[in-house]
A and B are shown apart, each in its own frame.
Chain A
Amino acid sequence: MKIVVCIKQVPASNDAKIDPETKRIIREGQKAIMNPFDTYALEEGVRMKEKYGGEVIALTMGPPKAEAVLREAISAGADRGILLSDRVFGGSDTWATSYALARAIEKIGDVDLVICGKQAIDGDTAQVGPGIASHLDWMQATYVMAVDSIEDNNITVKRMHEDGYDVCELRLPAVLTVVKDINTPRVPTLKGRLAAQKSEIPVLKPEDIGADPDKLGLNGSPTRVVKTQPPEPRQTDTLRIEGSPRECAQALVRELKFRGLV
């Protein structure tokens, strides 16, 4: 099995700073981590490799410093990493990002399975995974909470829905997005850390993956961020209740009854 795990480097905190011109997120000068949902995608890929053999390739698109998440992925079991980094990629929305990742996956060649986290914690769109599948015209399964089996080029997965789950079988090659219920990621080993340190991480540009520059970056993105603002606070006059637990409980129940809520 040749497995590509797509990873995003995200700011460690949610205190977002916005570029006033592009209205996009300023990533410089912020502590950055691997998107937490991607750690489950990586772990699932590594487990599959251990069970079925093959190779796990960690793929990311971002600024040069995004290399750090690829080394982290190698220390947690990926065989190698590939970084897509170039000014032309900058400002890509989910359409352009999934296009670039799809072209890179094609360039890698003979990939059986792509695994992504269900969404990134900064953008929260959950659009890039299905977007990659669409650009590649591959099958997809989203919100995957378990991989039951891989046999004869078919993969059987359990998909989470708001109202339960379903179990379905799809043909490889395919794209999965996974939720945190799927596994518990391992802690990187010392051996893994050493491998990560020594690993050569190739940096690919649009021409290296055969991507049309007109479909990348702000130019290739159909969406435009026109305004960002802090959310409006809920306006309330808070009724404060203090006293002994019994007094508090009595006052609350009285108030809830008055409001017709119990």
Chain B
Amino acid sequence: MIAKTYIEKAEYRNIWVIGELLSGEIQPVTYELIGAARGLADARQCEVWTVLIGAGAGAGAGSLFAYGTDTVVVVDDSRLDGFQDEIEAKVLVRLIKKYKPEVVLCGATTRGRALIPRVAVMANCGLTADCTRLSIDPENGDLLQTRPAFGGNILATIRCPDHRPQMATVRPRVMKALEPDISRVGRIIREGILDTDADKMKRIIEIFHSREGALNLSDAQVIIAGGRGMKGPEGFRLLKDFAFRVGGAVGASRAAVDSGWIPYAHQVGQTGQTVQAKLYIACGISGQIQHLVGMQSCETIVAIDKDPDTPMMQMADIAIVGDIFEIIPEIMNELAKS
């Protein structure tokens, strides 16, 4: 009778961030989530807690206070080496039952989106995927979670009125980390894992980290992106040259990826990466909403297309009407002069 279980909401307190670790190293999304959590915690007059689960998780714990967290919970155990989603989920559920957080936030990364649905089912609470905005309803203190759906055509606002904690995954590079304030202090709580947490353990055979593709794209200050207008893999070779000249990364629309012109790791948009580059040059991308949601927070957007009336040409800061295959070599020439 889950739906009818009465939850004493007042017992649940504090905003939790589930930190993302990669080989023990804290990932940027963690700082972004702490920044978002700080705002929510101030509105609720409560603390921000960050939970770090993983082998070697303890190492960076003390550095998180400067970014706005008050308490760090560390679960550091060699059995958590690699990404053990089953074990992490059981540990988290135990911690949630013990400490009763009001809100739990996690990065909408491949790891976060594997882990948190597992936790939400076990903890019997609602989960909203891939949020782009979070706020507190001033009337009742509930978390309002806004997310794009239908390929970005709709923004839906979701709440969990009767279940606690309220859980959400949040897109990387949407929230802003706070400027570190090294005068801030906090406490570290150490928790262990139980044998019952580790009854389902994966055997991790190989781990391969690559700076190619997705990661490169998400960190890039300049992105040269291509769509259907690039006409084929040769078109993307031109974009790679261009990107190399300007120290940028290559992005792509879903149409180009689906046509097999460039691997999925380069896809920008609703079902690809969200990017926040300083400069985004869209070449032959018509600008379907699915693509726009992944790149519209870039600082300066340049569009190059034959068709002056596409959505991308309308929303760009600078729109160049003409033949991409003629204009890009000229841009490279012009840049070489300076």
Contact = CB atoms under 8 A, between A and B. Distances in A.
B3 A214 contact: yes
A222 B82 CA distance: 31
A124 B214 contact: no
A51 interface: no
Contacts of B118: 130-131, 133-134, 140
Contacts of A112: none
Interface stretch (A76-84, A187-195, A202-210, A239-247): A239-247
Interface string A227-262: 111110110101111110110111011011101011
Contacts of A215: 2-3
A149 B83 CA distance: 20
B319 A240 contact: yes
A124 B271 contact: yes
A135 B121 contact: yes
B144 interface: yes
A236 B263 CA distance: 31
B287 to A, nearest CB: 11
A103 to B, nearest CB: 13
A192 B157 CA distance: 42
Choose among A14, A126, A163, A231 the residue with the greatest number of B CB atoms under 10 Å from its CB. A163
A6 B129 CA distance: 20
Interface string B254-298: 000000000110000011010000110000000001101100100
Interface string A112-139: 0000000101111111111101110001
B279 A256 contact: yes
B206 A253 contact: no
Interface in A122-162: 122-131, 133-135, 139-143, 156, 159-162
Contacts of B293: 231
B157 A227 contact: yes
Contact of B129 (A127, A168, A169): A127
Nearest to A260: B278
Contacts, number: 266
B3 A224 contact: no
Contact of A241 (B124, B263, B270, B320): B320
A221 B127 CA distance: 10
**Dominant secondary structure at the B interface:** mixed
Contacts of A68: none
Given A248-B327, A256-B279, A95 B209 contact: no
Contacts of A171: 200
A223 B293 CA distance: 23
A134 B157 contact: no
B184 interface: no
A124 B317 CA distance: 29
Given A168-B202, A214-B2, A125 B129 contact: yes
Given A15-B153, A122-B149, A239-B317, A167 B160 contact: no
Interface residues of B, number: 98
A254 B4 CA distance: 64
Interface stretch (B49-57, B227-235, B330-338): B330-338
Chain A interface: which size bin? Answer: 35 or more
A29 interface: no
Interface stretch (B69-77, B108-116, B187-195): B108-116
A255 B318 contact: yes
A23 B327 CA distance: 46
Given A241-B320, A262-B335, A181 B264 contact: yes
Choose among B161, B271, B333 the residue with the greatest number of A CB atoms under 10 Å from its CB. B271
A115 to B, nearest CB: 15
Nearest to A122: B150
A225 B157 contact: yes
B205 A14 contact: no
B130 A231 contact: no
A134 B119 CA distance: 8
Given A161-B110, A164-B209, A166-B204, A18 B327 contact: no
Contacts of B159: 223-224, 226
B152 interface: yes
Nearest to B332: A249
Choose among B3, B153, B218, B314 the residue with the greatest number of A CB atoms under 10 Å from its CB. B3
A242 B322 CA distance: 7
A180 interface: yes
Interface string B205-223: 1111111001100100010
A243 B160 CA distance: 55
A126 B126 CA distance: 14
A240 B124 CA distance: 53
B89 interface: yes
A225 B124 CA distance: 18
A8 B86 CA distance: 25
B315 interface: yes
Contacts of B125: 222
A-B residue pairs, 5 tightest by C-beta? A222-B126, A249-B330, A134-B121, A125-B129, A245-B326
17 contacts: A134-B89, A142-B114, A160-B110, A162-B273, A163-B209, A167-B204, A223-B126, A225-B157, A229-B157, A231-B152, A234-B315, A236-B301, A236-B317, A238-B318, A248-B327, A256-B302, A257-B338
